[in-house]
Every structure is written in C-alpha cells, then in structure tokens.
Structure 1
Amino acid sequence: MTLDSAITVRTATDQDWPALELLDAVAFGYHPTDPDRTLTRALTRTEDVVVATDNGTPIGLAMDLPLEFTVPGGAQVPARGVTWVSVAPTHRRRGVLRALFEHLHRNIAATGTPLAALTASEAGIYGRFGYGPATVAADVTIDRRFAAFRADAPDPGGVTLTDTQTAAERLPDIYERWRRITPGAQNRPQAQWDYTFGDPEVYRDGGSALFYLTHPDGYAMFRRRGSDDDMVAAVEELVAVTADAHAALWRALCGLDLMKRIEVTQHPDDALRLMLTDYRLPRTTRLADDLWLRIMDVPAALEARSYQVDLDTVLDVRDPYLDCGGVFALTVRYGRARCRRTDAAPRISMDLDALGSLYLGAHRARGLAAAHRITAASERDLALLDLAFGADRAAVLGWGF
C-alpha cells in the first residue's frame, strides 16, 4: 500500500497535543479528563510521539514509553510500550498505520531495547508487525452464594479492610515484589498509582468507588456494581506474591455476604477453582490475549530469560516487517542461554510473532507447531524446545498501558 503524497510522518511537537487528544478520543470512544491528561503527560515525552499529517492536519499517531518487564527467571528487561495507536476514520486503508509504525520502530530500534510491547484493542492488526500474543487472561464470574472451600484448602487469614490512604501507602511495595517474580508484569510509575487511587468517577462504569482488601503479601481492589438484588463485586485487580495471600484474599472476597456475584479477570490456570468444592463454579465468560510482544533484539531477549532444560538448537526467525530476524545458534546450560548468529542449518523455524508468543511461556511450542506456526526438523527438536521455554510462574500483564 502506497502512502498518499500529501501525508507525512514526523515527530510530534507540544502544539500537536490538542489534535492528538481528539484523535485518540474518537478512536477509543472517550473524552480525556484532566486526570487522563496528567497521567499521559507524566508517562510520555512529546519526542516519543509519532504523528501523521495530511496537508499539515494530524490524522494519525502512535507513541512509545519506557517500561521494564519481568521475564522467566526474574530478570528485568527494558522494553518500549507502544500505545495511543490511532488513525482517523477519514484516512483508513491508506498506509497510515504502516508509515507510523515504520517511524516508531526505527526510533525503538535506535534505543537498543530488546522488547517492544503493546495491548491490542483489535487482535487482527499487530501480527504483521511482528507482535505475538504473550499473555492470556480469562474473564471469570462466580456465584458467590455457592462458593464453599474444600476442607483441605488453606485458610491463612491476615486480610484487613483498608482505606484509600493506607492502600496508597501499602500497595506499591506489594506490587513491586509481585511483579519482580511474575513474567509479563512491568514496573508501575508513581503517576499511574496516583491515577489508580484517584479513581476517576467517569471510568467507574456505574460502580462504586474502589474498596481495598490487603494482606502482607497481596491485595485486591474491587467495586460494587448492580442493584440491591443483584450486587456484583467487580475485582479490578488482585495481586498475590504468595499462595497463602491468594487463598486469603479469595476467602475474604467470597465472604462479601451481600454480593451475589464476583467478577474478575485472572490467568486461565488460576488455582481458585481447585480450592472450591464446586470446580465449575468459576465460569469463564471470555478468554483473550492481553500483552503482545515484539522481539527487537533476538539474542539479547533470549539470553535474558531462564529455561527449564538444556538445549542445543539453531533457530531460523523470520521478520518480514523489519530486519530483526536471522539464523541463531541457541545453547542453554543450567537454565542460562547463549545466542549468536550462525550460518548453520536451522533445526527450528518460526516467524518473529511466534517467538513473541513463546517468549514468556504463555503459549507452548507444541501448540504453535500444531497451528503450523513453528516447524521443527524432528519430534525431539520440538519436544526440547517446548520443555525449555516453559516457566515456573504463569505470565501475567501487570497493568494496561
């Protein structure tokens, strides 16, 4: 697709912000409030915003912000978080998004950052740019009235009711401990915490202000929604550093007597249903992607994470969008990897987006191979790859950016 000659792509200026806010508002169906503007400007430098213009009028934008993600094994890896990707409805199918992303990813490559990440409003857009879904989230609803815990389920206690001021003092430290052991979770700037505790009413979706349950090793934020005869506890965030904290918080949530249902987004393999007498009680209403990853530097990314078994293989990683692919010798010993470009014959082949899906352990090599997203020279090659890229802890996105 050829970009219209009247359309140019450039770095944004401070004077562009009103037009950029309007573009984003139209694209995502909301009008920014003062807290939104405060958060955006705190997280974003104007020079990290790319804008497309038609005869000088902004008609598209994309930006990236500095983040740090935990990968399997606990290493903290620098990343750039891509967000505010918007194209005016008047300029669809004219190559604007591709032109924006070419400019943006040249900027990201220049930083030397191994990973680029985003959360996708539409799942069909970003694979062609080398992004693969790297975490999976399940929306779950529980009829709280019938929630009974097994006799052998842990009951560690330790949960307290907490006001907003106390939560603001306690939660950031708990989150930081949790994200440093959780693949996919990222650092959380103070500006984002301030926005969370500010809890703008316009984004409560008709619910109450936030309530907080805290444990020395975890917390839950929830709000009440619905009518008096159909009250719902909508859990906005549940973080547990330990299994005891997880069990204690769920016992407290299930003790909210007036609530008919609990709604939560969690990892599909969350242990809650295994603690209940009725395995079917937590009902999954939606299963979807959450974090998407693009590997910007294959050797640096693969050497950053840990692995479950020793491995000697040669990967052919195809990147049809940029030039981050190639053939790489990957050697793993005692959990640590060495990765270098090579002229050897590949044993494993995949596109870059498949490597992004494999990277945090959320998707397995066997599943990707069944979908013809990975090809292997032998069953043994595939089996070892599948085992090696496993992770001790489930991958979860920390907060939506």
Structure 2
Amino acid sequence: MTSVQTIRVREATHADAEAIVLLQETGFGMRYEEAELEHKLRIFPVERSLVAVDGDRVVGHTVDITMSVTVPGERSVVACGVSGVAVAPTHRRRGILRALYAAQHERTEADGLPLTIFTASEGSIYGRFGYETAIFDNTVVVDRRKAEFRPGTPDPGGVVLSTLAEAADHIRAVYDRWQARTPGAQRRPDAKWDLVFTDPQRHRGNATSLFVLLHADGYALYRRRYDDGKSTAVVAEWRAVTTEAHIALRRVLLGMDLVDTVEANVADDDPLPYLLTNPRAVQLTNRGDSLWARLMDVPAALTARTYRNDLDTVIAVHDPFRDAGGTFALQIRDGHAECTPTTRRPALTCDINVLAGLYFGAHRATAYATAHRLHSESPATLAAFTEAFTTSRAPELGWFF
C-alpha cells in the first residue's frame, strides 16, 4: 500500500491536464463535453492547480482562482475560490486531501486573501479544515394549477420572450446589478458566461435547452422536462433586482399553459409563498448548502463587511487547521468594524468555522450557542453579538463552481 510519505504535492503543468480531467471525471462520476471542458479550463486554468502525485501518477487535485464576492453592506471582497477537489478512489484515506489543503492554504495566505470559498459535494469533510456552510438554497416545486396570486398583488407586466444569443448582454447586465447587492454572490467571469450561453447537453438533466424570459430588471432561464405525462418548467437561473421584476417573472412562470409544475431554487427569504392564496402550493423538496467558507484572516474579513448595530466585545477564535486564530477586540460603530489582536479576556469563544457560518448572514449566533459551538459570558453579550451579525437580506450563491 502506498503511504502518505510517498505522495508529493506540487504545482501542476499543462502536461498534467489530461490526468486532472480523468481524475475529476472519475471522482464526480461524469464526462465533460469537449466545448464544456474548453470553457472550464479557461475558468480554472491548469497553472492554478495543485496536484498530489504518486510517482508519475496524479492522484489528487485542487485548483483556485480569485473571486470578487459581495459581503453584507453591498461591499466587495476578493476571495480565494477553490474547485475541483478530488482524490483518486485508489488512494483514499492516506492524508492526501490534508496535504493538498495545507499547500492550498499556504498559497492563499501568501496571496493575502481574507476568505476562502467553495461549493462542496460532501458535507462531512471540511469542518476539520475550518470551513462552515455559509449559504443555503431551497428547491421548491409549485403546483401551477393551485398557484393563484393573492388579490391586490400587482401585475407589472414587461416580460418578453427572447433567446440566449439575443439576450446575452442584458442577462449579464442584470446579473451584475443583482450580484453587487446580494451577499455571497460572486462576479461571473467571461469564460463562465460563455459556458452558460453554450448550454451544454450534460447540464440539461433530460430536459430541453434553455428558454429565456426577460424583464428590464430581471431574467429567468428555464427548461421544459416531461416525466410520465407531466410537464415541468425547471428554472435554471433567475435574477430580479426590483420587486416589480420579481413578481412579473413569477406571474409568467406560474401562468404558462401545458405546465403542471414549476421547479426552482429560492433563497431563504424569497417571498413566493406570501404572494399566493394557497402557500401549500409551494412545496419544499430539498434544502441544502450552496457555499462553504473559511476566514483566512479574521481582522481583514470582519472589517470588510458591515453590521446591524454597535458592539464592543472580545472574541477568542480557535483555528483547528492553520494559524488564523487568536483573541480579537471587535468594535463596531455605525455599522463599520475595527478588529485587532488583544490580550483582554474574551467574552465570546468559538472555532473559526462559526465565524464563517455567520459571515454572510445564513446562520444566527444564538443557534451556535445552543449547539455549544459558541460560548458567551452572558445572555446579553450573546444577544448583542447575534444582532450585530444579522443581515437584512439572505445570502445567495452567484454561480456554482
């Protein structure tokens, strides 16, 4: 059996590209289409990959790029976005992932980035490295025949049909407006947009290619799927930057003939059930995490976002994987924070992943305290800390990576 001592982690070269693709296809159980792979390698260049090698064989991989992500207060932070994390099934449980992540985090620390983010395929692995679920989304299915809008709900109109080719510039412009105000959403690079507009067959899930609905302040991309004689409109992506656009697009999606159900992903604070006379028409079919995060630099991360109320406290942070922990004085005035190392006695204590869970606003500090993952000197301290980190808007993932 190969031991971890025989494994070497190094930066990838273009000669490793074929082996990296094979490893990812094997690990994630799929095959890339040629056009899809071309765009993916533009999004995540091979030269940003780290590989674990056993002799001359690639047996582990991770890749990163810098991402601009919105944080509470409509501010923008440059983060490390990690993707393509895979270990060969022939080399599991030999410390390869830990070795890759040690090298990955050394690179991120050297780059001076305050956050690391990624979308995860498994939920039990990354807590040990200081990560936490940072954004959730919800899959809902709406019975269109029961979806009657409440009296008094506006009917703004303004929605038109389009094609991906015709609508590309408008879609990108709306997304940029939405992303700039939505916690957790990332800017989308050109190569990722090209992949969206290519609409690969593998992404369709036994459904049609994308249909397009446009509004001056929003858009919806959806597919039609047919199962056992029933028709579903599957919303692949929709963004709205005004209430009018939100309602107008919902009305069209829920008013289409020859459609039995509409399936979509929605944020925690989506108002859809409140728009309908029968909220039971909106059935939650899945709730899952869409983004994980880790604070790489506690003061830099905490001072990058804004807060709901004033606070003056000291928090002790334990980092189980790197050296980002310590005891920090956190002072918030008029929404803006100062955070510095201190020798004062802490009023709050937690692991670093708890701060990641609170960072975009997906979790509440009181829930962590109930789970014995956040310890406070008093109920008043906990209440003030919870209120400070509470956000007025639920975070949403911009694009899956």
Give me the TM-score of the superposition, normalised by structure 2.
0.98
**Structure 2 residue 237 is matched with structure 1 residue 240:** no
Residue number in structure 1 paired with 2:202: 202
Q: In structure 2, do the counterparts of structure 1 residues 3 and 72 end up closer, same or farther at CA, with 3 Å as the change threshold? A: farther
CA distance in 2, matches of 1:203, 1:305: 34
Q: 1:159 aligns to what? A: 159
Counterpart position of 2:343:
343
Alignment partners' CA distance in 1, 2:118 and 2:163: 32
Rounded to whole Å, the distance in 1 between the matches of 2:330 and 2:310 is: 10
Cα deviation 1:100-140 (Å, max 9, x = unaligned): 00011101111101110011100101111111101111110
Where structure 2 has 5 or more consecutive residues not aligned to the other structure, the ranges are none
- Equivalent AA in structure 2 for residue 264 of structure 1: A
**Aligned residue in 1 for 2:45:** 45
Could you tell me how far apart the structure 2 residues matched to 1:371 and 1:154 are?
Answer: 43
For 1:63, the equivalent position in structure 2 comes to 63
**Cross-structure match for 1:119:** 119
Deviation of the 1:269 alpha carbon: 2.5
Residue 162 of structure 1: CA displacement?
Answer: 1.2
CA distance in 2, matches of 1:301, 1:3: 37
Q: CA deviation at 1:165?
A: 1.5
Deviations 1:124-165 (A, max 9, x none): 011111111011111100111111000122221111111121
Partner in structure 2 of residue 182 of structure 1: 182
What's the secondary structure of 1:135's corresponding residue?
strand
Please list, as runs of the form range in 1=range in 2, the aligned pairs for 1:70-85 lying within 5 A after superposition.
70-85=70-85
- Equivalent residue, structure 2, for 1:216: 216
Give the distance between the partners of 1:301 and 1:117, measured in 2 at CA.
Answer: 13
1:326-382 per-position Cα deviation (integer Å, ceiling 9, x unaligned): 111000000000010100011111111111000011101011111111111100110
The match for 1:30 is 30
Cα pair 1:3 1:99 within 8 Å, conserved = no
In angstroms, what is the RMSD of aligned CA positions?
A: 1.2
SS in 1 for 2:327: strand
Matched, 1:314 2:314: yes
For 1:3 and 1:218, the matched residues in 2 are separated by 53
* 1:2-401 matched pairs, under 5 angstroms: 4-227=4-227, 229-401=229-401
Q: Deviations over 1:50-101 (max 9, x none)?
A: 1001122111101111101100001100011111000000101100000000
CA contact (8 A) 2:36 2:200 kept: no
Q: Take 2:83 and 2:149, find their aligned partners in 1: how far apart are those partners? A: 41
Task: Report % sequence identity.
Answer: 46
How many Å apart are 1:45 and its aligned residue? 3.2
Say if 1:156 and 1:244, in contact at 8 Å, map to a contact too.
yes
Unmatched tracts of structure 1, length 5 or more = none
- Given that 1:116 and 1:294 are in contact with CA atoms closer than 8 Å, whether structure 2 keeps it comes out as yes
| SS of the residue 2:281 aligns to | coil
Q: TM-score, normalised by structure 1?
A: 0.98
CA distance, structure 2, for counterparts of residue 203 and residue 149 of structure 1: 32
Identify if the C-alpha distance between structure 1 residues 240 and 3 changes in structure 2 by more than 3 Å, giving closer, same or farther.
farther
Which residue identity is paired with 1:307? Answer: Y
